[in-house]
Amino acid sequence: MQPDKQNASLRITALVSVGKHPGSGRARRAEQDARAVEMAMTLAPEGLEVLHAGDPQADSLRAYAGMGLKRLRVLQQGTNADAVPALSQYLKQQKPDIILTGVRAESGESSGMTPYLLGEALGLPVVTRIAEIVSIDHGEANLLQALPRGQRRALRVPLPFVASVDMAAAAPRQSAFGPASRADLESQDIGMAVMDEVKAAWSEAPARKRPKRLKVVKAKTAADRFKAATAKSSGDGGKVLRDKPASEMAQAVFDLLLEEGVLR
Amino acid sequence: MILDWLLPILISAALLLAVAGMLKRISLWRAGQPEKVNFFSGLMAMPRRYLVDLHHVVERDKYMSKTHVATAGGFVLSMVLILAVHLFGIENRWLSYALLGALVLMFVGSFFVWKRRRNPPSRLSKGPWMRLPKSLLMFAVSFFIATLPAAGILPEAFGGWVLAVLLAAGIVWGLGELVFGMAWGGPMKHAFAGALHLAFHRRPERFGGGRSTGLKPVDLNAAKLGVEKPTDFKWNQLLGFDACVQCGKCEAMCPAFAAGQPLNPKKLIQDMVVGLAGGSDAKFAGSPYPGRDVGFAVGGPNKSITEGLVSPDTLWSCTTCRACVEECPMMIEHVDAIVDMRRFLTLEKGNTPNKGAEVLENLIATDNPSGFNPGSRMNWAADQNLRVMKDVKEVDVLFWVSDGAFDMRSQRILRAFVKVLKAAKVDFAVLGDEERDSGDVARRLGDDATFQSLAKRNIAALSQYKFNRIVTTDPHAFHCLKNEYPDLYPAGQKPAYEVLHHTTFINELVKAELLNLSEFKGGTVTYHDPCYLGRYNGEYDSPRELLKELGIELAEMERSGFRSRCCGGGGGAPITDIPGERRIADMRMEEVRAVGAELVAVGCQQCTAMLEGVVEPRAEVKDIAELVAEALVEEVSPAPAKSREQSKVAKKPLAEEVS
Ligand code: SF4
Ligand code: SF4
C-alpha cells in the first residue's frame, strides 16, 4: 500500500494454519495468520511465500490464496505430524529474511509455541505480537509491538528474525472466491514425518469460558468509566526481575505460579 | 422536376448507409458472451411483445402512449409507403393518399412530442433528444409536400426549384435522423435496438404477463466470474442497453438517486452504451450521478468498467429494489447488470465495501451474517414449543424462520406469526438448526459462490422431509426459495412444495375463517410494500386484504403497489453503506408522514428495521403478523361469553389441515 515500505529484495515467509471459527467450529482462514499474510503482502508483494505444513487438500487454505496469492506452498504431512521439524528443515534451506506466524493457532494444541520452537531451531531472534513493521533499512527492521490497551512498543531487530503477528495488526484483505479456487497449492513431500508426541497425548474438548475476576467499577461519570476502562491495571503492577541470578528469578516465577494456583 | 430523380437516390442512399450502420452495431453486440436465444420464435413474438407488453408499460403514461402510437405507427406506415411511392415509383393515387394519411398521423404525434419537449422534466435527456421532435416534424412535412404531386393534388412542377431545394433539404434532414440515425447511434437507435431487444430478451418469461425476477446463477468454474468489461456481458444484455430511450423513468423512481447517492440507473445504462461502443460520456445530456460530474468517464468494449467508466460506489449504491426495471418501457434489466458487475468485484477482486467482507466471511463460517453460533438459531423460540422437522419428518407447513431468529426486533414478528399459526391450529414445524441463511445478501453482494453453497445445503436439508408448503415472514428468503432455488436443485429434481409469504398465508387462514379477529383500534394506517414481496413476486393484494379484514382503511402513499419506494434495506445496501445526502428510510418515512399515518404496516423484518431506524417522532412500524396477532380473539371454548367480537366472523370448527 505504501510503496516506500515495499522492498524488492526482501523475502518474507508467512506461515499459515487451518483456523477454526469460535462459534461454529468450522475450518477457516485463521485471523492472526491472515494478518501475517496481509503484512507480508504489503511489505514484499514479490518476495513473499506463504507456507503451510499439513494437508494440502484443506479447503480453508484456499481462503488465504483468495487474498490474491498466486501460489501457496504446502509441506505435505499427516494431521498427526508435528509441523515444527518440517517447517524448520524447509526454512533452513530457504533462509527468508522474516518469518511471520500468528500468535497461536486456532485449533490443535494452540500452545503458541511454534514461533519459539522455530526461533530455537533456526537460531533466530523471536519478536512476539507485532502490530506493524514500520520500515526496514540497513538490515534492521523497525517494528511496533502490540501491548495491552492499544499501547505500542517500538523495537529494532536485525534481520533475519521470527515474529508473531498480533490481532492489532492491519486487518487482512477480503478473500475472493475466484483467485482462491484457481491458486496453485504446491504440495511438496518433505520426506519426513515426526509424530507430534505432545499432541497425541492431549485430549481435545471444547473450551469453557474461564472465570474472570470481576472488576467493580465504582465510577459515577462517563469520564470515570472511561478512565477505568483504559487505565493500566492497578495492583502492585508486578515486579521486574533483572540482573539477578537465574535461579532466584526462576524461583520468583515459580512462587507466583504456585500462588495463582497454576501449579499445585 | 428535380425531386423525381433525387428522391429515389436519397432514399436508397439512406437505406444503404443504414444497413451498413446496423451491421456495425450488430457486430458490437456480438462482441458479448454467447447466450442461447430462440431466434425464430423471438422474432415472431416481437410484434406482440411490442404492441402488448411494452405498451402495457407505456400505457401508464396515457399522453405518451398515444403520442408514441401516432408517431411510431405513422412513421412505420409512411416509410413502407414511401418505398412504394417514391422509391419504386408505383403510380397509384390511393397509395399516395394512404401515404399522406400516414404522414398526417405522424405529424400529429410528432407535434405532441414537440409540445411535451417544450418544458421537459429533469428526468428526460436533452441534447439530440431535443432535436428529435423537430426532425420528426420535418420528415412528415417534407414528405407530405413531396407526395402531393403524386397524389394529383398539386401539379407536377409546383413551386419550381426553390421549393424543390427546400424540400430536398428537409428530406435529407428527416431521413438522416430517422433512417441513417437509427443505425448510427442517434436517438432513433432505440427503434432498431429496441425491436431486436424485445425479440431476443434474456428473460422472455416477462412477456405475456409473466414475471422473471430471480438472478441467473454464475458458472463457478468459468475462467472469469462476473462482468469486468462490457464484452463480458451476454450479447443480448449489450443489445438491451442499446435499446434505452433515455426517458429517465428509472431515474425518477430510483431511491438511491433520490437520496443523492452516486447512482442514476439511466446514466448507468448509458455508460454501458459508452462502454460497448467505446468513447466517453461527454455527450450525455441527462442528470449525472448525484455528486459526480459528467464528461470524465471513458470506456471501451475491452476496458475494465470500474476503472474509468463507472465507479464501484455507483454499483454498490443500488438496493436491488427493481423500481427501475418495473418502470422501464424498454424492459431493460438494470439489476442483472449491476449484480453482474458486483460479482466481478466480490468474486475476483475481493472488493466488497465496508462491512461486506465481514458479512460474507460470517456467512461462510457460520451460515448467518452476524457470525452467531449456528447452534443458537433456535434460542429465540426457547419458550415456543416448536416442533422441529428432524423429529416430525412430515408436516403440512414448514415455517422458514430466516435470520430474523438472531435479531430481537424480528423475533417479535416471528413470535407473533407463531401465535397466529397456533391459533389457526396449523400443522407446522421448523427446520431448527438445519436452517441456514437463504443466501439473499450474499447473492446481492455478488458472492454467488456463497449463495450457491448456502442454497445447496438448504436444499439438501429441505429434501429430507415431506411438507406441502413453506411459509416465511422474510420476503428476501421467500424470493430466494421461490424464484432462485429451483435453478440449484440437483439435475432432474424439482421442488415439490409451494412457497408462500406469511401475509398470503394468513390471508388464506382468514378467508377459511380459521382466525377470529377483532377490529383494529387506532389511528390512520398506511402500508409499505416490500420490494421483494411486491415487485419481485407480485404480491400486492394479500396484505391489503388482510388489513381490510382487520377493519383498517388504508391511507395509501403516493408511491405504493408496484411503484412502492424501497426502505433502503435491500441488496446489501445497509452493509455497503455508500454515503448520500439523505437516507432512503428517512425519505420513505416522510411519505408515511405525508398521508398522516400513525402506523405503517409492513411485511418484512428488514423494512421494519430500516423504518424503525428513523428518528422519532415518526409513525409506529409493525409487521402485519404483529397486527393480526394483536387482533386475535382467544377462543374461550366452549362458552364464548367474553368474546368482544360480535358476529363478524362466525365460529367455525377448527380444521387440522389447511389446503
Ligand atoms: S434497483 Fe432500485 S436502487 Fe437499484 S438502480 Fe434500480 S431503482 Fe435504483
Ligand atoms: S433504462 Fe429504461 S427507464 Fe431508464 S431511461 Fe432507459 S429506457 Fe428509460
Q: What is the spatial distance between Cα B550 and Cα B649, in angstroms, rounded to a whole number?
A: 11
Task: Please compute Rg for chain B using Cα positions.
Answer: 29
Q: How far is A241 from chain B (nearest CA, A)?
A: 43
- SS3 label, residue B600: strand
Contact across the interface for B348 and A175, Cβ inside 8 Å: no
Residue ranges making up the domain that contains A40:
3-200
B490 and B568 housed in the same domain: no
Report which of A168, A153, A152, A148 is spatially closest to residue A232, judged by C-alpha positions: A148
- Sign, Cα dihedral of B645, B650, B651, B653: negative
- Does residue B361 belong to the interface with chain A, where contact is any CB pair within 8 Å? yes
For B45-62, what is the mean pLDDT? 92
B101 and B163 housed in the same domain: yes
Contact across the interface for A177 and B351, Cβ inside 8 Å: no
What are the tens digits of pLDDT across the range A168-209?
A: 999 999 999 999 999 988 888 877 777 878 778 888 777 777
User: Which residue of B366, B434, B447, B454 to mutate against A (max A Cβ within 10 Å)?
Assistant: B366
Confidence (pLDDT) at A211: 76
List the beta strands (DSSP E) in B506-651: 525-527, 599-602, 620-623
Confidence (pLDDT) at A232: 62
Measured between CA atoms, the residue of chain A closest to residue B220 is: A178
A179 and A123 housed in the same domain: yes
With contact defined as beta carbons under 8 Å apart, do B305 and B285 qualify? no
Return the ∠ at Cα B502 (arms to B497 and B504), rounded to 5°: 80
With contact defined as beta carbons under 8 Å apart, do A12 and A54 qualify? no
Contact across the interface for B365 and A23, Cβ inside 8 Å: yes
B160 and B271 housed in the same domain: no
C-alpha cell at B432: 431448527
What letter represents residue A82's amino acid?
A: D
Q: What is the spatial distance between Cα A175 and Cα A102, in angstroms, rounded to a whole number?
A: 18
Pocket around ligand 1 at a 6 A CB cut-off: B 253-256, 263, 265, 318-324, 334-335
- Does residue B541 belong to the interface with chain A, where contact is any CB pair within 8 Å? no
A56 and A112 housed in the same domain: yes
Q: How far is A168 from chain B (nearest CA, A)?
A: 17
Pocket around ligand 2 at a 6 A CB cut-off: B 244-250, 265-266, 269, 327-330, 332
Ligand nearest to the CA of B332: 2
Which chain B residues are closer than 8 Å to A176 by Cβ?
346-351
- Does residue B320 belong to the interface with chain A, where contact is any CB pair within 8 Å? no
Using alpha carbons, list the distances in angstroms from residue B378 to B48, B365, B387, B405.
Answer: 51, 18, 11, 7
What are the tens digits of pLDDT across the range A33-66?
A: 999 999 999 999 888 999 999 998 888 999 999 9
CATH number of the domain at B299, please: 1.10.1060.10
Confidence (pLDDT) at A149: 81
A133 and A230 housed in the same domain: no
Long-range contacts of range B546-553, CB-CB < 8 Å, 24 or more positions apart? B546/B503, B546/B506, B546/B507, B546/B510, B546/B624, B546/B628, B547/B601, B547/B624, B547/B627, B549/B507, B549/B510, B549/B517, B550/B517, B550/B519, B550/B520, B550/B627, B550/B628, B550/B631, B551/B519, B551/B520, B552/B520, B552/B525, B552/B601, B553/B525
Contact across the interface for B347 and A176, Cβ inside 8 Å: yes
Ligand nearest to the CA of B334: 1
- Does residue B348 belong to the interface with chain A, where contact is any CB pair within 8 Å? yes
- A246 part of a folded domain: yes
| Angular region, A25: left φ>0, alpha ψ -120 to 50, beta rest | left
- A215 part of a folded domain: no
Residue ranges making up the domain that contains B298:
230-349
B181 and B238 housed in the same domain: no
Which chain A residues are closer than 8 Å to B367 by Cβ?
24
Confidence (pLDDT) at B271: 97
B495 and B531 housed in the same domain: no
Measured between CA atoms, the residue of chain A closest to residue B350 is: A176
Asked which of A63-72, B59-68, B271-280, B647-656 is least confident by mean pLDDT, the reply is B647-656
B530 and B626 housed in the same domain: yes
Is the pLDDT at B61 greater than 60? The verdict is yes
- Does residue B367 belong to the interface with chain A, where contact is any CB pair within 8 Å? yes
CATH number of the domain at B429, please: 3.40.50
Q: Which of B310, B335, B531, B565 is the best mutation target for the ligand 1 pocket, counting ligand atoms within 8 Å of the beta carbon and taking the most?
A: B335
Contact across the interface for B346 and A179, Cβ inside 8 Å: no
A18 and A52 housed in the same domain: yes
Compute, in degrees rounded to 10, the torsion defined by CA atoms B511, B516, B521, B525: -30
- Does residue B379 belong to the interface with chain A, where contact is any CB pair within 8 Å? no
List the beta strands (DSSP E) in A166-215: 184-189
Domains held by chain A: number: 2
Last residue of a domain, one of B486, B511, B536: B511
A193 and A227 housed in the same domain: no
Contact across the interface for A174 and B224, Cβ inside 8 Å: no
Contact across the interface for A178 and B373, Cβ inside 8 Å: no
- B493 part of a folded domain: yes
- A213 part of a folded domain: no
Is the omega angle on the peptide bond into residue B530 within 30 degrees of 0, that is, cis?
no
Using alpha carbons, list the distances in angstroms from residue A53 to A26, A88, B239.
Answer: 19, 11, 51
A133 and A243 housed in the same domain: no
Continuous segment of H or E residues that includes residue B428: strand B428-430
- Distance from CA of residue B207 to its chain's centroid? 14
Confidence (pLDDT) at B1: 60
Contact across the interface for A176 and B361, Cβ inside 8 Å: no
C-alpha cell at B44: 415472431
Which chain B residues are closer than 8 Å to A181 by Cβ?
220
B345 and B424 housed in the same domain: no
Distance B253 CA to ligand 1 centre (A): 8
B413 and B543 housed in the same domain: no
A245 and A142 housed in the same domain: no
A136 and A236 housed in the same domain: no
B337 and B416 housed in the same domain: no
Q: How far is B422 from chain A (nearest CA, A)?
A: 32
Measured between CA atoms, the residue of chain A closest to residue B363 is: A24
Contact across the interface for B220 and A181, Cβ inside 8 Å: yes
- Does residue B442 belong to the interface with chain A, where contact is any CB pair within 8 Å? no
> In terms of DSSP H, where are the helices of A132-245?
177-182, 197-201, 222-230
B49 contact partners, CB below 8 Å, separation of at least 6: B198, B199, B201, B207
- SS3 label, residue B72: helix
Q: What is the spatial distance between Cα B54 and Cα B47, in angstroms, rounded to a whole number?
A: 10
- A12 part of a folded domain: yes
Confidence (pLDDT) at B596: 94
Would you give the DSSP letter of residue B528?
A: P
- Sign, Cα dihedral of A97, A139, A104, A240: positive
- Does residue B72 belong to the interface with chain A, where contact is any CB pair within 8 Å? no
**Closest-lying ligand 2 atom to the alpha carbon of residue B190:** 7
Q: How far is A49 from chain B (nearest CA, A)?
A: 20
B500 and B577 housed in the same domain: no
Which chain B residues are closer than 8 Å to A178 by Cβ?
224-225, 347-348
Which residue among B350, B352, B364 sits closest to A67, beta carbon to beta carbon? B350
Distance B610 CA to ligand 2 centre (A): 28
- A206 part of a folded domain: no
Measured between CA atoms, the residue of chain A closest to residue B364 is: A28
Burial label for A209, CB within 10 Å (0-12, 13-18, 19+), is exposed
A126 and A246 housed in the same domain: no
For B502-509, what is the mean pLDDT? 97
- B359 part of a folded domain: no
Positions of chain A with pLDDT under 50:
1-4
A18 and A139 housed in the same domain: yes
B90 and B152 housed in the same domain: yes
Confidence (pLDDT) at A22: 87
With contact defined as beta carbons under 8 Å apart, do B544 and B488 qualify? no
Residues 181-200 of B with CB under 8 A from A: none
- A30 part of a folded domain: yes
Percent of chain B predicted with pLDDT > 70: 96
B331 and B400 housed in the same domain: no
A27 and A57 housed in the same domain: yes
- A65 part of a folded domain: yes
Would you give the DSSP letter of residue B641?
A: G
What are the tens digits of pLDDT across the range B554-597?
A: 999 999 999 999 999 999 999 999 999 999 999 999 999 999 99
Would you give the DSSP letter of residue A174?
A: P
Confidence (pLDDT) at A199: 78
- Does residue B290 belong to the interface with chain A, where contact is any CB pair within 8 Å? no
A138 and A231 housed in the same domain: no
CATH number of the domain at A82, please: 3.40.50.620
What are the tens digits of pLDDT across the range B22-43?
A: 999 999 999 999 999 999 999 9
- Does residue B346 belong to the interface with chain A, where contact is any CB pair within 8 Å? yes
DSSP string, B237-266: HHHHHHT-----HHHHH-HHHHTT-S--HH
For B237-266, what is the mean pLDDT? 96
Domains held by chain B: number: 4
Confidence (pLDDT) at B4: 79
**Closest-lying ligand 1 atom to the alpha carbon of residue B319:** 3
Structure confidence at residue B635 as a pLDDT band (50, 70, 90): low
Confidence (pLDDT) at B150: 82
Contact across the interface for B347 and A174, Cβ inside 8 Å: no
Q: What is the mean pLDDT of chain B?
A: 92
Cell numbers 499459515 correspond to what residue?
A: A16
